[in-house]
Amino acid sequence: MRSVFRERAMAAIVAAVSVFGMLGGSSALGAEAQELNLYTSRHYQTDEALYEGFKKATGIKINRIEGKDDALIERVKNEGANSPADVLITVDAGRLWRAEQAGLLRPVRSKVLEERIPANLRHPDGLWFGFSQRARLVLYDKSRIKAGEIETYEDLADPKWRGQVCIRSSSNVYNLSLLGSMIAADGEAAAEAWAKGVVANFARSPQGGDTDQIRAVAAGECGIAVANSYYYARLLGSSDDGDRKAAEAVGVVFPNQKGRGTHINISGGGVLKAAPHPDAAVRFLEYLASDEAQRIFSEGNNEYPVVADVAPNATLAGLGDFKADTLNVANLGKNQPLAQRIFDRVGWP
């Protein structure tokens, strides 16, 4: 299935050449701006299609440095005004908030970005923009738990699930953002009570990544897990029989459908304050919001598009439609320090 995604993603590049011209750029490019320096924490092979598509559409060459999110942010800070980086791309709004707090990003005004990317998926002042989405799912053992028994994130703190929950550590930015959204929705006291209840329901001490949580449910180590949608979709479409069977053994819940909606997060980026090629940087962000780039995000890495008119890939579409939380994701970063303090107080490792 993943090979099919790559083929579709590469095929989309050809269409990108003609369509991107309709999107336009923020200003004319001078001869000195025929390159772009990108710092990215996205490590997905299928993103090569994005870089090649942008080059074919614009003639702008991308020089890329990959690394871990916090390391790249620290690198830009250390480079200061002499940083060669034009654009920072990272995953999770919480990490974009860290770059924002460090004063590394410059505001961007772009009609293309403002029209195509929903307001809740971009910074209010244009410091960064979301280009793909992932939903935070609850997954359960279908042999032990009936459909409908879990409907909300809040249900995970119910004492009936004592010894059933597998989830990542409190330092994981996905969990910090999830708790940040709950702080925004329910307030600090309720969010802390929830975190305390989940700790009491741990099947084991937090360990591993999202994929490990799903596999643990399939293996009977726990009854419930929390994971991002693209990890589940990746297992579901895997060429490995064991991974596919693991995904098929668990039920999927899009939480809080009767209320605020399922928590979503983004992968996104912004133009760096010291960018030597700011016009090329804006054009790259605009390209990432094009239909073709949005399809590459989805077909290549099982991420939900942020542009409403672009449909998710077949695997994600097969999970069904869902109501997403419309909270501006900028709040996830703002609430991150408080979320970490709450996790520490309740003893969430």
Whether the pLDDT of residue 5 is over 80: the answer is: no
SS3 of the chain: helix, strand, coil, percent, to 5:
50, 15, 35
Least confident interval from 32-41, 76-85, 90-99, 207-216: 32-41
Tokens 């596919």, located at residue: 244
Residues 43 and 72 sit within 8 Å (Cβ to Cβ):
no
The pLDDT of residue 99: 98
Tens-place pLDDT, residues 225-249: 999 999 999 999 999 999 999 999 9
Kindly report the backbone phi and psi dihedral angles of residue 106, in degrees, each rounded to the nearest multiple of 5, phi listed first.
-110, 145
Whether the pLDDT of residue 182 is over 70: the answer is: yes
Tokens 């760096």, located at residue: 272
d(CA 259, CA 185): 10
d(CA 248, CA 142): 9
Whether the pLDDT of residue 13 is over 60: the answer is: no
Confidence of residue 153 (pLDDT cuts 50, 70, 90): very high
d(CA 96, CA 79): 18
User: Dihedral of the CA atoms 114, 115, 119, 122 (nearest 10)?
Assistant: -40
Report the DSSP beta bridge partners of residue 39.
65, 88
The pLDDT of residue 33: 61
Provide the CATH topology of domain 2-133+265-317: D-Maltodextrin-Binding Protein; domain 2 (3.40.190)
Kindly report the backbone phi and psi dihedral angles of residue 324, in degrees, each rounded to the nearest multiple of 5, phi listed first.
-100, 145
* Average pLDDT of the residues in 310-336: 97
The pLDDT of residue 329: 98
d(CA 11, CA 133): 22
Whether the pLDDT of residue 252 is over 80: the answer is: yes
Q: Kindly report the number of other CB atoms within 10 A of residue 42's CB atom.
A: 20
The pLDDT of residue 26: 41
Whether the pLDDT of residue 160 is over 50: the answer is: yes
Beta strands 264-271 and 129-141, pairing class: antiparallel
Architecture per CATH, domain 134-262+324-346, reads as: 3-Layer(aba) Sandwich (3.40)
The reply to whether domains 2-133+265-317 and 134-262+324-346 share a CATH topology is yes
d(CA 153, CA 151): 7
Looking at the chain, the whole-number percentage of residues with pLDDT higher than 70 is: 91
User: For the chain, which residues make up each domain, given as ranges?
Assistant: 2-133+265-317, 134-262+324-346
pTM of the predicted structure, to 2 decimals: 0.89
